[in-house]
Amino acid sequence: MREAMFYSSLKNNIVQCELCPHFCKLKLGEKGFCMGRKNIDGKLYAINYGESVSISIDPIEKKPLFHFYPGSRIFSIATYGCNLRCPFCQNYTISQFEQETEYISPTELYKIVKNYGLSGISFTYTEPFIWYEFIYDFCKISNGDLKIVLVTNGMINEKPLLEILPFIDAMNIDLKSMNPDYYRKVLKGDLETVKRTIEISQKKALVEVTNLLVTGDNDSDEDIEKLIDYIASVNVNIPLHFSRYFPNYKYTKSETPIERLIFAYNKARKKLNYVYLGNVLIEDAENTYCPECGTLLVERYLYRIRIKNIEEKKCKVCGRKVDIIL
């Protein structure tokens, strides 16, 4: 446990968390919406500090990150909790409920990652920004020696985002919809905050965006086109992943129809340079092609990765700079 960053003290021992747009006001003994922060004796504490619920070593493509050291493996770790309430969450057992944890200090974690011979760590599976203090301290200890990856819903206020961004190498940010009412009513989040996180972060780190196409929720032609247009307005080189939804947690809706995924893929390819499909096997839909000449640059099948036609960070055929960190 560690005293939280980004909060203010109010009257009557009430504290207000300022980490995310929920701005939770907590009386003595109350926990925040994310479950990871608590008012103890009139101070806000990160009670999830160092408390891990899942540790693994994953292919980097599982995040998904396709433009960040393709074919490599990355250490992955999570705490419990989240500051969204997605009713279809695939990791709901650890994101929506408190779980038994195993404590690990930032220093211990750094040593473990180094002992595995890995060059990076991903804070993933649940929402990393609610583990802010632990990740911040880990970044300080790592001091640039490890690549830091966040797989996030983007629900963080601007000040804490700007403070941690200099330490972050890559992010996959979920953009679940372009409908603010859907974010607010169904997910209990804020669309404008997520958009701001994407816009700021892509200037400082490698950013890829994932959109889970949920049947009947956000998979209409209009929904898809609005999202594509938004990403294009920010940066046409941001890789966009459309991911197939499957029934989970509170949702029993049928899985995303294949034709919806193909529609989204084809639409996005007209305006964005890098588009992928996830949670589904469709030929060529995970490959990276040169936006200039169409040459195959990275071939992917499941987690089998082959880098092709890249020399000195350029396409061998046309010489265009490759937007991939190798």
What's the mean per-residue pLDDT of the chain?
Answer: 97
Which runs of consecutive H residues, i.e. helices, occur in the chain?
Answer: 92-95, 106-115, 132-142, 158-164, 180-182, 191-201, 221-234, 258-269
Has residue 115 got a pLDDT over 90? yes
Name the burial class of residue 294, with classes exposed (0-12), middle (13-18) and buried (19+) by CB atoms within 10 angstroms of its CB: exposed
* 86 annotated binding-site participant: yes
With beta carbons less than 8 A apart as the criterion, state whether 97 and 143 touch: no
Residues 23-61: tens digit of each pLDDT:
999 999 999 999 999 999 999 999 999 999 999 999 999
Confidence of residue 302 (pLDDT cuts 50, 70, 90): confident
> What percent of the chain shows pLDDT beyond 90?
98
* 89 annotated binding-site participant: yes
Q: pTM of the predicted model, to two decimals?
A: 0.97
Residues 178-211: tens digit of each pLDDT:
999 999 999 999 999 999 999 999 999 999 999 9
Residues 209-254: tens digit of each pLDDT:
999 999 999 999 999 999 999 999 999 999 999 999 999 999 999 9
CA atoms of 294 and 89, how far apart (whole Å): 35
CATH number for region 51-286: 3.20.20.70
- Find the farthest-apart pair of alpha carbons in the chain and give their distance in angstroms, rounded: 68
The pLDDT score that the predictor gives to residue 224 is 98
* 290 annotated binding-site participant: no
Residues 132-176: tens digit of each pLDDT:
999 999 999 999 999 999 999 999 999 999 999 999 999 999 999
Residue boundaries of the structural domains of the chain:
2-46, 51-286
Residue keyed to tokens 């802010």: 132
How many CB atoms within 10 Å of residue 91?
A: 19
The pLDDT score that the predictor gives to residue 40 is 98
Mean pLDDT of 116-137: 97
The one-letter amino acid at 43: K
